[in-house]
Amino acid sequence: MDQLKYIYTLFVSNLLISLPFLLLGIVISSGLLVFVDEHQLVAKLPRTRILAVIIGSSLGFLLPFGQYGNLPIVRRLLLQGLPIPLCVSFLVASPTVNPFVINNSWQVLGDYPRLVFLRILGVWLISIVVGLIFSAYPEKFAVLEDSSSPVNSRSALVHSGTIIAHSETFKPLHPSGNLVYEYQVNVSNSSDIWQKLWLFFDNIIREFIELGSLLVVGVAIATVCQSFLPQMQLLEWGTTPLNQLLAMTVFGLVISFNSLNSAYFLTPLLSSILYGSGLVFLLLNSLFNISSLILLLGIVRIKFASYIVILTAQLILVLGLTINFYIS
């Protein structure tokens, strides 16, 4: 009974930590849908690889919503036709490269300035490398089933989303597939503020139901795994640089924190672990813990998500190993 109470308390606390960031991301996603003309947005952004990944890796300063809030924003950017390298570099960098996490890292890990520096610089460089690699990824579009619709395609990398299309006259809401709704008017250019607000709040509700349910499932799975994770045994096993890095990798994937709270978990361990192992925990936990992984898989296609996770995790582990063996 005590174990069930502990699991329930842990589940509620993890969910309360995550939901506000997801909701903020959904609000921004809905704002981009309704109030921003996607054609002008795409036209103003650079299509060159280097500039796209640099802008994407720096967008966290404008949209600092962590690994839960950035996922609905990434889906919206992909649906609106932004370059894949920009979206991928934003996905990787934004949970860490944003003013709140940088300030939090300095306050919590201020006694270890080198680790703070490596955390920010490391994930920024990794996001640029991953974005550049994904610049060779082919941009595919899925043709919608309703051929009479003025929206004839959308990004094939996402499972669902909301689309606003250009049209001369307004027509009612038209559903096409699972959570793909085509509003037959460019609302961003419309002067009817009530129409805009209705679509804005309608999209918030729809996305929150869809993504919130995924987050609840992810947090539930992460909570059960965290409850039965043999933490002390893993720490005792991690006596060599390699074993220690593997142990911190497991902690990073299983423990359901966000990029703000992961530093608090790590602080008591820093006197007994190497910098590279601590860095791997900070980066993996901020990007790919179980909760955010399930949310990512619910938003983008499995193949695309797998490429992002595997490639980014490999670069993080290589960075951690290099620091453990040659710098620490």
The DSSP secondary structure of 230-290, one letter per residue, reads -HHHHHHH--SHHHHHHHHHHHHHHS---TTTHHHHHGGGTTTS-HHHHHHHHHHHHH--H
pLDDT at 235 (0 to 100): 77
Q: What is the pLDDT of residue 150?
A: 36
User: Residue ranges of the domains in the chain?
Assistant: 2-220, 226-327
Contact 90, 83 (CB under 8 A): no
pLDDT given for residue 82 in this prediction:
85
Q: Are 53 and 131 in contact (CB under 8 A)?
A: yes
Cβ contacts of residue 286 below 8 Å, gap of 6+?
66, 67, 95, 96, 101, 123, 258, 259, 262
> What value does the mean pLDDT take over residues 85-93?
93
Contact 248, 277 (CB under 8 A): yes
Average pLDDT score over the chain:
81
Question: d(Cα 52, Cα 66) in Å, to the nearest integer?
Answer: 20
Which residues have CB under 8 Å from 51's CB, separation 6+?
A: none
Adjacent-strand bridge partners of 181: 162, 175
Which tens digit of pLDDT belongs to each residue from 195-242? 888 889 999 999 999 999 999 999 999 888 888 888 778 877 877 888
Do 98 and 62 touch, CB atoms closer than 8 A?
no
Segment 282-300, tens digit of pLDDT: 999 888 889 999 999 988 8
Position 196 scores a pLDDT of: 85
How many Å apart are CA 231 and CA 245, to the nearest integer?
A: 14
Residue 165's H or E segment, with its range, is none
Report helix, strand or coil for 294: helix
